């Protein structure tokens, strides 16, 4: 692995500058060194398309009273698996992993004092169109996407897919509101991380970009001037990068497999760190450990959004890296610990994880939320929150 370290590079750019430069691993390291859950009951999905529409009040909240604020030190995690999306036999997307992850969390008695599971409400029209073109949203909602567009997304259209897509984004937006109202802490979505969705189209199993929507709503509703996106999925978050390429208020940091999807539609993040095949725990964690303090110090984010895909796991069918479960666990601890220590409100989304069978991915996804709950509870006790 040591002979590969010199090939681990970071594409680093400032938004107002071009062309981007490419750093060696040693340069990247030097630059960075300066620095029993409450189970909510989901209502039965309605047959009416969610999310409002172009003639509805775009500011109208989801139906029903607002959820109560969480107790101090309790991780609120939203879920969208109450929408069961039908897929053809043999479809390669592991849709079952979402419910399996939630079930594993709900069954863990150690999480009873520090985790609350809530069904995600649908994202409202006014929020989703902060990012996505209204025509695109309406065409998806009303089943007027072309065959080519849906093929690029990777799912067949269904009413359940519409419901799940709106709920998946709604969960990330709600998690953002939880931490912004508190001014600190962590909240999560056991869905989302759909970072391949662009303003006017979807691709790579992503239809709406929930991370971009939550960031844009935070900019609008809370007047933020600095948001940090930390994308640790094995695939570059090309949609998120594209959406915020001209917005200096949002910094996007992305560590991904260099020889992996998206090949043709890759975009430029604020910081791109493409990794060679078979990158393992030691070099990966060394890079992340060196970059996080610099990002927090230089950009002073008021909100951190983490895309916590686990497809960097060795043996993932869509990934080409070689992290162990322990390496991913250390990754989760690094990011959660850094955000809590810096006092930056943090939202965690799901992301890729494609082992076959999906059990290993489910274990790693579960680790993400368990780690966040443990770290948040310990931090709250230490802070007297």
pLDDT tens-digit map of 259-304: 887 767 788 899 999 999 999 999 999 999 999 999 999 999 999 9
Q: Which of 49, 48, 47, 51 is nearest to 61 (CA)?
A: 51
Q: Give the Cα separation of 227 and 163 in Å (integer).
A: 28
Q: What is the mean pLDDT of residues 357-380?
A: 98
In the beta sheet, which residues pair with residue 252? 229
Question: Which pLDDT score is estimated for 53?
Answer: 57
pLDDT in tens, 204-219: 999 999 999 999 999 9
Q: Give the Cα separation of 58 and 52 in Å (integer).
A: 7
Tokens of 280: 């393992």
pLDDT in tens, 337-366: 999 999 999 999 999 999 999 999 999 999
Tokens of 330: 């250390």
Question: Which pLDDT score is estimated for 50?
Answer: 62
End-to-end CA distance of the chain: 44
Question: With DSSP H G I counted as helix, E B as strand and the rest as coil, what are the percentages for the chain, rounded to 5?
Answer: 40, 15, 45
Q: Do 106 and 373 contact (CB within 8 A), yes or no?
A: no
User: DSSP states of 277-325 as a string?
Assistant: TT--HHHHHHHHHHHHHHHHHHH--SEEEEE---TTBTT-TT----B-H
Q: What is the mean pLDDT of residues 248-252?
A: 98
Distance between alpha carbon 292 and the CA centroid of its chain, in Å?
A: 17
3-state SS, one letter per residue, for 56-67: CCCCCCCCCCCC
Q: Give the Cα separation of 183 and 362 in Å (integer).
A: 30
pLDDT above 60 (res 33): no
Indicate the length of the chain as a whole number. 385
Distance between alpha carbon 170 and the CA centroid of its chain, in Å?
A: 13
Structural domains of the chain, with CATH:
73-83+91-383 (3.40.800.20)
Q: Please, which pLDDT band fits residue 252 given cuts at 50, 70 and 90?
A: very high
Q: Do 191 and 120 contact (CB within 8 A), yes or no?
A: yes
3-state secondary structure of 118: strand
pLDDT in tens, 95-153: 999 999 999 999 999 999 999 999 999 999 999 999 999 999 999 999 999 999 999 99
DSSP state of 44: P
Q: Do 159 and 140 contact (CB within 8 A), yes or no?
A: no
pLDDT above 60 (res 16): no
User: DSSP states of 47-94 as a string?
Assistant: SSPSS--TTS-TTPPPSSPPPPPPPTT-EEEEE-TTS-----TT-SS-
Share of the chain above pLDDT 90, in %: 78
**For residue 106, what are the CA distances in angstroms to 40, 171, 365?**
11, 18, 13
Q: β-strands 303-307, 10-12: how paired?
A: unpaired
Of 41-50, 249-258, 292-301, 342-351, minimum mean pLDDT range: 41-50
Q: Give the Cα separation of 230 and 228 in Å (integer).
A: 6
């Amino acid at each position: 692995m040591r002979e590969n370290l010199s090939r681990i590079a970071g594409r680093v750019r400032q938004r107002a500058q071009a062309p981007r430069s490419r750093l060696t691993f040693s340069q990247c390291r030097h630059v960075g060194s300066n620095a029993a859950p409450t189970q909510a009951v989901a209502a039965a999905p309605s047959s009416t398309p969610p999310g409002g529409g172009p003639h509805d009040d775009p500011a109208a909240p989801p139906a029903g009273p607002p959820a109560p604020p969480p107790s101090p030190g309790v991780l609120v995690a939203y879920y969208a698996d109450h929408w069961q999306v039908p897929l053809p036999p043999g479809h390669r997307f592991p849709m079952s992993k979402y419910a399996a992850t939630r079930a594993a969390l709900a069954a863990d008695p150690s999480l009873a004092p520090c985790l609350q599971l809530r069904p995600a409400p649908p994202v409202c029209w006014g929020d989703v169109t902060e990012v996505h073109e209204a025509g695109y949203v309406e065409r998806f909602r009303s089943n007027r996407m072309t065959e080519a567009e849906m093929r690029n997304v990777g799912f067949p259209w269904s009413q359940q897919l519409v419901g799940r897509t709106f709920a998946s984004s709604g969960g990330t937006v709600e998690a953002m509101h939880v931490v912004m109202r508190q001014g600190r802490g962590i909240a999560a979505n056991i869905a989302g991380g759909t970072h391949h969705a662009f303003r006017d189209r979807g691709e790579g199993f992503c239809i709406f970009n929930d991370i971009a929507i939550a960031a844009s709503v935070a900019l609008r509703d809370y007047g933020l001037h600095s948001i940090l996106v930390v994308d640790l999925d094995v695939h570059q978050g090309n949609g998120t990068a594209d959406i915020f390429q001209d917005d200096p208020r949002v910094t996007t940091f992305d560590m991904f497999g260099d020889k992996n999807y998206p090949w043709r539609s890759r975009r430029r993040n604020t910081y791109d760190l493409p990794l060679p095949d078979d990158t393992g725990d030691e070099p990966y964690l060394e890079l992340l450990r060196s970059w996080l303090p610099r990002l927090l110090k230089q950009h002073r984010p008021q909100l951190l959004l983490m895309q916590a895909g686990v497809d960097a796991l060795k043996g993932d069918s869509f990934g080409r890296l070689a992290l162990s479960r322990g390496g991913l666990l250390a990754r989760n601890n690094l990011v959660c610990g850094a955000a809590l220590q810096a006092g930056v409100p943090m939202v965690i989304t799901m992301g890729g994880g494609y082992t076959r069978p999906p059990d290993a991915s489910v274990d790693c996804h579960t680790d993400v939320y368990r780690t966040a709950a443990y770290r948040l509870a310990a931090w709250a006790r230490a802070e007297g929150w």
